[in-house]
């Protein structure tokens, strides 16, 4: 007779099995309820907007906007989901049929066995979730797509590239989004592809060699080559982005400055060539068994981006521009003046010289007392820092950096005043 008993011979605890069944039912129920609540909130917002547009007799505006959002959501979401799914599928179908015996692979075998029942659901759920996120980001850009699709030329060009101003207003923002979305697809696909290769032995962190299977090297090399191609496109688009950035030379001035024209523009062109060379090296590396040449090319791209794309322009700015900034930026300032005149249609102004011949005397001044009393004596750009300097030992109040100017009736007279909200 044996008094030993095993866990398998013990009767199942009814309460534990009941709790397990309740848990299996509770979790999906809570998930469905959360989804329904989220859908209700979204529907409420959309329906409220629809009622407002309908009350203004502009329901077509709402339906057009909604149609654009839905169309972009599905178009970009499907592309994202299919790209990630394809990257995972390629890695799984080209997995090694026989794996080396190592501690790393033995450890991964347990994960593979645990993931096998969920492999197909995960292969669908993960791309779909990423596709939903990608679709949401695309739906938020419906205005960019709409203005790009329906743009009209301004019939005015920028002085540096000769492109119509409509390109910067309508095309550039949409192209930036599409490029960023392409980068997101590629990076997510590359990560998903590498993870599947690692799980199924195509990538190994421990010996023996080779640590990368031929299929994994081919797929990863092609994806990295496409990444370098996109990087070249990004550098090309960055050139036009320089025409939109603002600098601290004069508040409100935008466009290319001396440093941009003489340092950043040549740097972007050089980086485009280097990125294209890196892409070619990665495509060649897809059929080789060495990563040295492609890795060296990628390293060259990174170093070049830091040196000629960052350090060199900073040196030009510090040692060529700053010592005589106004002289160096004279052309840029003139471009901004011309653009401002074009924007406000002030090109046909006729300039006449006025030679004052009268000398002011007390009688003339006495007749203009109302005007003279309205002359601004305090600079609103100086008031705030001056106040902080005078009251630094009594930090009870603070004001914004830039104050506002207005006019009020004070003691029966209209007087100028510097106003602000006191914090």
User: What digits encode the pLDDT tens for the residues 371-398?
Assistant: 777 777 777 677 777 766 776 566 566 7
What pTM, to 2 d.p., does this model score? Answer: 0.74
Instruction: Check if the beta carbon of residue 257 is closer than 8 Å to that of residue 333.
Output: no
**Spatial contact of 310 and 234, defined as CB atoms under 8 Å apart:** no
Neighbours of 293 (CB within 10 A): 13
Q: Which helix (H) or strand (E) holds 343?
A: helix 330-343
Where residue 308 falls (left for φ over 0; alpha for ψ -120 to 50; beta otherwise) is: alpha
Model pLDDT, residue 145? 95
How does residue 16 score in pLDDT terms, banded at 50, 70 and 90?
Answer: very low
Residue with more model confidence, 164 or 15:
164
pLDDT above 80 (res 185): yes
Confidence class of residue 283 from pLDDT cuts 50, 70 and 90? very high
Q: Which of 36-45, 185-194, 339-348, 374-383 has the lowest mean pLDDT?
A: 374-383
Give me the mean pLDDT over the 157-164 stretch. Answer: 90
pLDDT of 10 reads 47
Task: Give the mean pLDDT of 407-420.
Answer: 78
Rounded CA-CA distance 329/255 in Å is 11
**Could you tell me which residue, 154 or 399, shows the higher pLDDT?**
154
Over residues 144-156, the pLDDT tens digits come to 999 999 999 988 8
CB 305 within 8 A of CB 268: no
Rounded to 5 degrees, what are φ and ψ at 98?
Answer: -120, 135
Once rounded to an integer, what is the mean pLDDT over residues 346-364? 79
- Per-residue confidence band for 171, with pLDDT thresholds at 50, 70 and 90: very high
Distance in angstroms (rounded) separating the CA atoms of residues 276 and 229: 6
Q: Which tops the pLDDT comparison, 343 or 270? A: 270
pLDDT band at 337 (very low <50, low <70, confident <90, very high): confident
What is the per-residue pLDDT for 297? Answer: 86
Q: Coil, strand or helix: which one is 287?
A: coil
Q: What angle do CA 19, 21, 27 make, to 5 degrees?
A: 95
Return mean pLDDT, the chain.
Answer: 82
Tokens of 357: 């011949």
């Amino acid at each position: 007779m044996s008094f030993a008993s095993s866990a398998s011979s013990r009767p199942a605890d009814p309460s534990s099995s009941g709790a397990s069944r309740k848990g299996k039912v509770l979790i999906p129920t809570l998930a469905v309820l959360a989804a329904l609540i989220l859908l209700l909130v979204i529907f409420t917002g959309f329906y409220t907007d629809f009622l407002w547009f309908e009350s203004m007799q502009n329901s077509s505006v709402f339906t057009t906007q909604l149609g654009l959002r839905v169309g972009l959501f599905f178009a970009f979401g499907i592309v994202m989901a299919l790209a990630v799914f394809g990257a995972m599928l390629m890695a799984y179908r080209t997995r090694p049929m026989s794996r080396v015996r190592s501690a790393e692979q033995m450890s991964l075998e347990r994960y593979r066995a645990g993931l096998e029942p969920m492999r197909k659901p995960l292969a669908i759920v993960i791309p779909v979730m990423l596709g939903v996120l990608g679709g949401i980001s695309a739906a938020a850009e419906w205005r960019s797509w709409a203005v790009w699709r329906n743009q009209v030329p301004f019939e005015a060009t920028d002085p540096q590239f000769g492109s119509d101003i409509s390109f910067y207003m309508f095309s550039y923002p949409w192209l930036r989004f599409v490029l960023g979305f392409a980068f997101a697809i590629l990076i997510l696909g590359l990560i998903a592809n590498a993870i599947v290769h690692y799980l199924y032995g195509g990538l190994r962190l421990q010996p023996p060699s080779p640590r990368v299977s031929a299929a994994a090297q081919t797929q990863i090399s092609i994806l990295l080559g496409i990444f370098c191609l996109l990087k070249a496109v990004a550098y090309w688009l960055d050139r036009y982005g320089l025409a939109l950035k603002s600098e601290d030379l004069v508040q409100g001035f935008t466009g290319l400055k001396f440093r941009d024209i003489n340092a950043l523009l040549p740097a972007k062109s050089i980086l485009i060539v280097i990125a294209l060379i890196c892409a070619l090296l990665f495509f060649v590396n897809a059929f080789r068994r060495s990563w040295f040449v492609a890795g060296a090319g990628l390293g060259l791209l990174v170093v070049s981006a830091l040196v000629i794309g960052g350090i060199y322009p900073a040196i030009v700015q510090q040692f060529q521009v700053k010592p005589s900034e106004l002289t160096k930026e004279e052309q840029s300032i003139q471009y901004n003046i011309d653009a401002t005149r074009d924007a406000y249609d002030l090109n046909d102004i006729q300039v006449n010289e006025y030679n004052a011949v009268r000398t002011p005397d007390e009688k003339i001044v006495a007749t203009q007392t109302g005007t003279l009393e309205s002359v601004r004596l305090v600079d609103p750009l100086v008031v705030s820092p001056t106040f902080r300097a005078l009251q630094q030992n009594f930090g009870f109040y603070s004001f914004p950096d830039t104050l506002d100017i207005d006019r009020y009736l004070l003691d029966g007279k209209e007087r100028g005043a510097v106003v602000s909200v006191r914090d």
